[in-house]
Structure 1
Amino acid sequence: MRRGRLGAAKTSTTALVDAEFLENGAARLRSGGWRAALELEPLNLALQGDSERTRIWRRYRQMLAALPGPVSLYCLSKPRDWRPPPPSSSTFPAAAADSAFQSDLVRDRLIQHQRHLLVIWADPPLSPGAGMTALLGRGRSGRPAVDLDQRCLTVGAGLERVGLRSRRLDDGQWLELLQSWTGGRSGRQPATFASWLAPGRAEVGPRRLLVDGRSVRSLVITGYPRRVGLGWLAPVLLAPPCDLRLVEHIYPVPKLASLSHLRRRIRSFETSLQVDHLRGQRPDRGTETALGDALELEERVLMEEEHLFQMAIGMTLEAGSDGQLERAWHQLVGRLAELGCSAVPLTHRQADGYRMTMPLGADPVGWGRDMTASALATALPFIRAGLSTAEGVLLGPSLVSRELVVVDPFSSRNPNFNIIVLGTSGAGKSYTSKLLATRLGLAGCRLHCLDPVGEYQGLARLLGEAVVELGMRPGSGLNPLGPPGHGNGPAEVAQRAAASMPVLERLAMGRAEEGLLAEELAETLEEALLQILGRQPGSARLTELVAELDGMGARLLAGRLRHFTQGPDAGVFDGSLPLAGVISLSRVRRDRERLLPAVMQMVLLHLEAELSGSPELPRLILVDEAEVLLSSARSAVALEGLSRRLRKLGAGLLVVSQVVEDFLNSEVGNVIIRNCHTKLLLRQEEVAIPALRRAFGLSPAECDLLRDAEPGSGLVLVGRERAAFAAAA
């Protein structure tokens, strides 16, 4: 070790790495211990009620009581300077204005990239608890003395009951995570595992560590608040504007050691009170209270109603300069003081603090604090209040934190690219949908909008897209028999007929028929359709189908369909318009309530065919007033099928509806909701709240937010994550 300027000392960077190697998802430490890592998805408790928080606390407490050995909980937080994605084309007049607006909005807001891990110990090194090594045991021959895989399964099952999903990191994932935080890289010489993890250079000072030119400082928490709620430690992750690593080293204390420790404390309290009595002094009330608490805790530990642990909490800050580190340090210490915590900087032990918070399950500091399972469970760190990604589009600011709400519907990690927007009349559905579609369009997404009433034409002009009005003139529509087929084999004909039947059934339905065409009429219609498609797979039209029905003697069906080959609506069902931009259905006027589901289904049928022949990515189909399609059983099933098939075409579906009950009270509607990975819930009527609460697992606080939400405000749910947002443009 060589002395540097300002009392700092340059040291070997491999001394900052405790791992010797990784093998089969386990890390071997220099001390002889083995570790395995689980990565977790955090819980979002910002809008959870007291009952839900109590349930999570109880289950987490049960998980802690059942721990098979020591564990380390890590929260790794990196703030990101989020900027709106550059527009795909500079010709959009709104691109520069929206980019400037978003840049102003993100000031003093946070985009936090967080990773949460739980590292499971086997053959632990010396822990803070006296005599604990002897009680826990050590392995032999360099192998774990316990089944590490079984411990991972046990802990993972306990986390699942809490509501935390976990996955075990393999060697490559763990190595990549460690290198992203240490600045290490593979291929260094000499080729040792420690050299691949270690930073390029390090300089150790009494109050800070200089790692690859970045300033690092660590502290430990020595005092805790008297009264706390679940997740009281999570806000600390949002305090400093720099990289932060937080760790909780948790050591279960065996029952015999717990009782022995408690009885020593009881004897100490009793002796102190006896001395006061012999001196003729009043007994100290604090000592009496402590004795009562210790006796009660001893009884609970004896009856296995409570368990004792030792916990050490450490934090490491990393910033680009000493000035940035100093400012972040004061913010962090101030936030801890607000929470009622006492923090001690690791002066002259900064290297140990750096190793303590590195996600390898090593605790060289060893400053533990006795704590019960009930108290320890309140320090659950795997909690977040917002929803943000490094890429995607901005919805707006969070309603419950300083974070921004950023979503990426077309992320490759999503099971599908579908979005659903549900809200009552006047809740801001059109505003929010247009905002999302506009920003996706500016980022390069191609938009196809099914517009029943003509309110999205301004969006088309904004994005430079075309506006197509069905039925504007003769031949300016679409073929209800579907797009031209690519073959005339039985399978191709049957597939095309099945896709066209929901449209034709709706057109052939009499005014007295509700929901479905009579069975015998539907069979006749399908037979005629199969025959004409078999003869003319690429050119069959509605007029040919009418003639075929006349030839079969089905004059009732032929008469009903003939209405759509002539008259004011004939142009809607004839032609082959290119479906780009906004498709307006405002020209469908005669018997609109009955015809609109058929026309919307016809447009979706042609859109899917167009997407099938185009590899362009990504594309978004926006369907407004989707409740119209759910009014017809056939159209509802077809919409559900489309929501499943679009993922393979690299496209997404944006469904907008104000009649929430139609979705929640039908089996097909619930399937469509499940097929939408991104869900936006805006203000709701009181009668819809109970069904929404059951369908989406909403808390009482989230239900209250939906009752009183301002237009354009509500909840966004992406998979298991959720956030309260206010759309801003």
Structure 2
Amino acid sequence: MGLGPSALRVNARSLDLPGGVCASFAVTGYPREVGAGWLEPLLTYPGRLDVSLHIDPIPPLIAAQRLRRQLARLESASRADAQRGRLADFAAEAAADDAAELAASLARGHGRLFRVGLYLTLHAPDAGVLEGEVQRVRALAASLLLDAQPTTFRALQGWTSTLPLAHDSVRARRVFDTAALAAAFPFTSPDLQPVLGDTPVLYGLNAYSSGVVVWDRFAQDNYNSVTLARSGAGKSYFTKLETLRLLYQDVHVAVIDPEDEYRQLCDHVAGTHIALGAPGVCFNPFDLPEEQGEDTLIRRALFLQTLIGAMLTQPLTPAARAVLDRAILATYRARGISSDPRTWARPAPVLADLTAQLDAIAASQTPEAGTAADLSARLAPYTAGSYRGLFAGPTTTRPTGHLVVFSLRDLPDEVRPVGMLLALDAIWRTVANPDDRRRRLVVVDEAWTLMRDDEGARFLYRLAKSARKHWTGLAVVTQDAGDLLGSDLGRAVIANSATQILLRQAPQAIDQIADAFDLTDGEKTFLLAADRGHGLLCGTGAGSDRAAFTAVASGHEHQLVTTDPAELADRAQRDDATAATDTEADHR
């Protein structure tokens, strides 16, 4: 197969191609100043317009010599005009000022100079349509203060210069500095001026232009985000895309996964997958963290009180807290663990050891006996009943690695808040380790499960408030906006999130969300009718605004993050057919 058309006719200003005609232009005049994305109108032209930018860096030594000569010519012309009594040439003075600024920037190493060629090729089905399109494109270029000249008698060279061949046949160049050249690239959304740092992430394409939406959560006022969407709107798909792209940039990620949707991604990047509730998987809340301080044992005892409050699905009374605190410390002492840090490396007790201590207090003739007996009885399902598997022994898999996924799918609904709290605590112990500072992201998918519980909501609130101090971002993802917006703690989590992402919303919740995020009528309409993967990015950091975007993924990324049942079933059938074919071939 050939690499080009079978035949073409070269005219003075156009080319006749099989199935159409085309005309090319070279941009020879530019405005004095340009803004970010100044080529955007040409890139979003509704017709077929090829835009080609050829860039050739100028060596700094040659650039400095040319700037000196240019400054000398301009200064000489200005002095000659003054000696002859002529009026000042303001264009020449402006050019001299620009040349002086470029020379200073080059000398400080703040920028470089480039020879740049900008060419346009317009395609149409016939010559009559092409003539009208040419007038519109030249008018559009003129509105941008660009002088687009047809490549008369060089139509073939103009066309080849816009092909992806990296060859400039016209060589109509203009010198650009680094800032002007960078502004030519459509790597920003016209609706969003984000502050970018070292970890920018492609969120998708702007829904109303060809620009891309790039966002860096670690360059905002805080690193937290909240993602709200109805079921099936693509919130988990988008979150997994961001997770994968942050892993590219050496950000450590921990995920609380209620539906085991992150397993394929985790396996592909060699992460750590912990399926809480699965047979043989234990996670001991009595484990002491590796990073140890003077109050390590006390903090563990306080967390255990919070965890047991979640197990009992109601806040502990002061009397119950006192009894529980006494029993927890006694449980540690029974294993030889005390306030002496040298004892903290010994094997930690398990939940059954705590109920044994409670039973011992219940058997004593003290005022706390009744409270201890009640606590022991209510903890029985977790030590000897249906939920005992998770707490039956020492921890089986340590939560370490660049990606750690806590899957909660195998946990009964009654135990999910407990499993989520256990996972959050394990993640927080890693985050708060002062000896291992790095960028981290904690993803809490389906956070409404945790927000239903008072203890879980308070824990999530503390994480949202404190994560930034440990170079960590919290990503809260939920389909039930009411659980976040309906409580003071949930609203506080949103208020502490500099990145807010709204995907398709249900009509029943749109008014509440519009009030919370100050949406316009147009934004409400967009969110009500948004397709899967379409959303609104609301940044609250300095200089940021809002942008409607469509999440995009490469084919390989899509294979890793999709959970579409139809796609997964079709993939499984293809895999089975391939395996059967391979088996048949082996038999032959």
Structure 2 length-normalised TM: 0.58
Name the structure 2 match of 1:631: 452
SS at match of 1:536: coil
1:602 and 2:422 equivalent? yes
Name the structure 1 match of 2:471: 650
Name the structure 2 match of 1:134: none
Give the drift of 1:214: 13
1:477 and 2:282 equivalent? yes
Name the structure 1 match of 2:203: 395
Query: In the alignment, is the contact (CA less than 8 A) between 2:51 and 2:119 conserved in 1?
Result: no
SS at match of 1:77: coil
Residues 75, 524 of structure 1: alpha-carbon distance in 2 compared, 3 angstrom cutoff: farther
Name the structure 1 match of 2:546: 722
1:544 and 2:353 equivalent? yes
Residues 633, 212 of structure 1: alpha-carbon distance in 2 compared, 3 angstrom cutoff: same
SS at match of 1:400: coil
Summarize deviations over 1:401-450 as a string: whole Å, max 9, x none. 23210011122xx2322222110111111111111111111222222111
Residues 564, 397 of structure 1: alpha-carbon distance in 2 compared, 3 angstrom cutoff: same
Q: Aligned to 1:410, which of 205, 218, 227?
A: 218
Measure, in 1, the Cα distance between the counterparts of 2:143 and 2:203. Answer: 31
1:521 and 2:320 equivalent? yes
Measure, in 1, the Cα distance between the counterparts of 2:420 and 2:306. Answer: 11
1:430 and 2:236 equivalent? yes
Summarize deviations over 1:316-368 as a string: whole Å, max 9, x none. xx9944744999xx9998348669x999xxxxxxxxxxxxxx9xxxxxxxxxx
SS at match of 2:410: coil
Measure, in 1, the Cα distance between the counterparts of 2:293 and 2:432. Answer: 18
Summarize deviations over 1:219-260 as a string: whole Å, max 9, x none. xxxxxxxxxxxxxxxxxxxxxxxxxxxxxxxxxxxxxxxxxx
Name the structure 1 match of 2:310: 506
Residues 399, 545 of structure 1: alpha-carbon distance in 2 compared, 3 angstrom cutoff: same
Summarize deviations over 1:243-285 as a string: whole Å, max 9, x none. xxxxxxxxxxxxxxxxxxxxxxxxxxxxxxxxxxxxxxxxxxx
Residues 695, 211 of structure 1: alpha-carbon distance in 2 compared, 3 angstrom cutoff: same
Residues 556, 633 of structure 1: alpha-carbon distance in 2 compared, 3 angstrom cutoff: same
Measure, in 1, the Cα distance between the counterparts of 2:213 and 2:489. Answer: 30
Residues 334, 199 of structure 1: alpha-carbon distance in 2 compared, 3 angstrom cutoff: farther
Summarize deviations over 1:441-483 as a string: whole Å, max 9, x none. 1222222111122111011123221322224344x32223453
Query: In the alignment, is the contact (CA less than 8 A) between 1:214 and 1:320 conserved in 2?
Result: no
Q: Aligned to 1:673, which of 481, 490, 494?
A: 494
Summarize deviations over 1:184-222 as a string: whole Å, max 9, x none. 9xxx9xxxxxxxxx9895455999879999999xxxxxx
Measure, in 2, the Cα distance between the counterparts of 1:213 and 1:392. Answer: 37
SS at match of 1:552: helix
Measure, in 1, the Cα distance between the counterparts of 2:38 and 2:420. Answer: 42
Measure, in 1, the Cα distance between the counterparts of 2:477 and 2:50. Answer: 32
Query: In the alignment, is the contact (CA less than 8 A) between 1:679 and 1:717 conserved in 2?
Result: yes
**Residue correspondences, number:** 394
Name the structure 2 match of 1:334: 139
Q: Aligned to 1:563, which of 381, 389, 394?
A: 381
Measure, in 1, the Cα distance between the counterparts of 2:233 and 2:487. Answer: 23
Q: How does 1:122-521 map to 2 (within 5 A)?
A: 201-202=70-71, 204=74, 320-321=114-115, 323-324=117-118, 334-335=139-140, 384-387=190-193, 392-411=200-219, 414-474=220-280, 476-481=281-286, 483-484=288-289, 491-509=295-313, 515-518=314-317, 520-521=319-320
Name the structure 1 match of 2:441: 620
Summarize deviations over 1:92-113 as a string: whole Å, max 9, x none. xxxxxxxxxxxxxxx9999xxx
SS at match of 1:444: coil
Summarize deviations over 1:622-643 as a string: whole Å, max 9, x none. 1111101101111100111012
Of residues 534-543 and 318-327 in structure 1, the stretch that sits farther from structure 2 once superposed is: 318-327
Give the drift of 1:670: 0.7
Measure, in 2, the Cα distance between the counterparts of 1:610 and 1:321. Answer: 50
Query: In the alignment, is the contact (CA less than 8 A) between 1:199 and 1:211 conserved in 2?
Result: no
Measure, in 1, the Cα distance between the counterparts of 2:491 and 2:194. Answer: 26
Query: In the alignment, is the contact (CA less than 8 A) between 1:387 and 1:407 conserved in 2?
Result: no
Name the structure 1 match of 2:409: 586
Letter in 1 for 2:390: V
Name the structure 1 match of 2:522: 701
Name the structure 1 match of 2:169: none
Name the structure 2 match of 1:77: 35
Measure, in 1, the Cα distance between the counterparts of 2:470 and 2:532. Answer: 33
Summarize deviations over 1:66-94 as a string: whole Å, max 9, x none. xxxxxxxx98624599xxxxxxxxxxxxx
Measure, in 2, the Cα distance between the counterparts of 1:494 and 1:207. Answer: 75
Residues 393, 342 of structure 1: alpha-carbon distance in 2 compared, 3 angstrom cutoff: closer
Identity rate, percent: 27
SS at match of 2:299: helix
Residues 487, 716 of structure 1: alpha-carbon distance in 2 compared, 3 angstrom cutoff: closer
SS at match of 2:413: helix
Give the drift of 1:496: 2.7
Unmatched 5+ residue regions in structure 1? Answer: 1-73, 82-106, 111-183, 189-197, 217-317, 344-357, 359-382, 510-514
Residues 604, 656 of structure 1: alpha-carbon distance in 2 compared, 3 angstrom cutoff: same
Query: In the alignment, is the contact (CA less than 8 A) between 1:448 and 1:621 conserved in 2?
Result: yes
Measure, in 2, the Cα distance between the counterparts of 1:436 and 1:656. Answer: 12
Give the drift of 1:527: 3.9
Query: In the alignment, is the contact (CA less than 8 A) between 1:424 and 1:683 conserved in 2?
Result: yes
Structure 1 length-normalised TM: 0.48
Measure, in 1, the Cα distance between the counterparts of 2:253 and 2:296. Answer: 29
Aligned-residue CA RMSD (Å) = 4.3
Q: How does 1:49-68 map to 2 (within 5 A)?
A: none
SS at match of 1:706: helix
Measure, in 2, the Cα distance between the counterparts of 1:396 and 1:541. Answer: 47
Query: In the alignment, is the contact (CA less than 8 A) between 2:445 and 2:477 conserved in 1?
Result: yes
